[in-house]
Chain A
Amino acid sequence: MEEFTQILLLFISTVLINNFILVRFLGICPFLGVSKQVETAFSMGLATTFVMTLTAAATWLINTFILEAFNLPFLQYVSFIIVIASLVQFVEMFIKKTSPVLYKALGIFLPLITTNCAIMGLALLIPLNGYSFIASVVFGFGAGVGFTLAIVLMAGLREKLEFGDVPEVLKGVPVTLIIAGIMAMAFMGFSGLISM
């Protein structure tokens, strides 16, 4: 029971308190790039969550049973990036074969996930925090949910902003960044939610 509570708290804190985008600054590129429409933002969030959960499991196994077992920490970056790239490739092929509809919806976003620093950041944070296998997978899933939450919220705001009267020089990226700043302030409100 104790362990279960711990896992639940880890999930909540990953989603809200240490949100990957708004607090850790990981995955800013897709956050700015694919947050124009709620629908595409949601698809992107879904694909990222999927890859993140798998990455968390795969890199934990590789780090524990290969890199640490054979004392090869200097290969960490190279091996993680290869794992992520092949995982994304694999997920792409798998989805293409099993669900063409989903493949079409995610299509162009899937290959982009490889260079999403949220995924690589996740892989690097797991050994740094010393999570167990279960905790790693929950951490990966929570990170994905937090990512989806932030990107969908931003897309909703930007859809409304289309009708707003934004000064010419602030249109596009600048105003998006300022909104993200205000969202980050709002998320700071969660910081006292749980103490870990």
Chain B
Amino acid sequence: MSLDFKQVVSDFKNGLWAENPIIRLVIGMCPTLAVTNTTENGLAMGLATSFVLIMSEIVISLIKKLIPANVRIPSYILIIATFVTFVDYFLKAFFPGIAASLSIFIPLIVVNCLILGRQEAFASKHSTPRAIADGIGMGIGFTWVLVLLGAIREFFGMGSIFGFTLLGDWYRPMVIMVLPAGAFITLGILVGVMNYISREGK
């Protein structure tokens, strides 16, 4: 099997911007909005999702020929659910604080449409190295948007980033930014700005 190196690189880059899961494809929105009240939570969620995404893309691209077409979706979900259980127990054991603040959004990675979507659209059709590249690219693409969103919300909502206070006592936090309403509005403006940037670039 010859492996086209350029192809793998372009699969990897694809998720970063051109087909960024959040900004371009608008999938996986629930965790994006729910857990980005602080930078740390955004990063943890991004990494947890990336892990599940990459691992299930590896497994599914390896066994894609063994799965009958009729039952592929339930099979994918079962593989994903297994890795999610793994991540959940790992976080509970080693990072109980993060596990508590992400609460049900860790198990909800099972139904994150980003993960199932990539299995259906990519892993089930391509070779394992390309699936790994796609998983890593999509994972980083998802994570950087979550971290950016978390940073913006934490900065305005609490005057800090990663828990370090940046703004002094004079700053009166905009509490709305860490509440649900702030999540919707920040992401709306962020997607608008990204649209503007990618249009200017053309």
Contact = CB atoms under 8 A, between A and B. Distances in A.
Whether A and B are associated in the same complex: the answer reads: yes
Interface of A: 22-29, 32, 74, 76-78, 81-82, 85, 114-117, 119-121, 124-125, 128, 167, 169-170, 173-178, 180-182, 184-185, 188
Query: 3 closest pairs, A vs B, by CB?
Result: A177-B188, A181-B184, A181-B185
B163 interface: no
Contacts of B89: 74
Interface residues of B, number: 43
A77 B85 contact: yes
Given A78-B85, A174-B188, 14 more contacts: A24-B34, A77-B84, A78-B78, A78-B81, A81-B77, A115-B116, A124-B107, A177-B187, A177-B191, A178-B184, A178-B188, A178-B189, A184-B184, A185-B181
B96 interface: no
Contacts of A128: 103-104
Contacts of A174: 188-189, 191-192, 195
Given A77-B81, A85-B77, A116-B111, A178 B185 contact: yes
A182 B34 contact: no
11 contacts: A23-B180, A77-B88, A81-B78, A81-B110, A116-B111, A120-B111, A174-B192, A177-B185, A177-B187, A181-B181, A182-B181
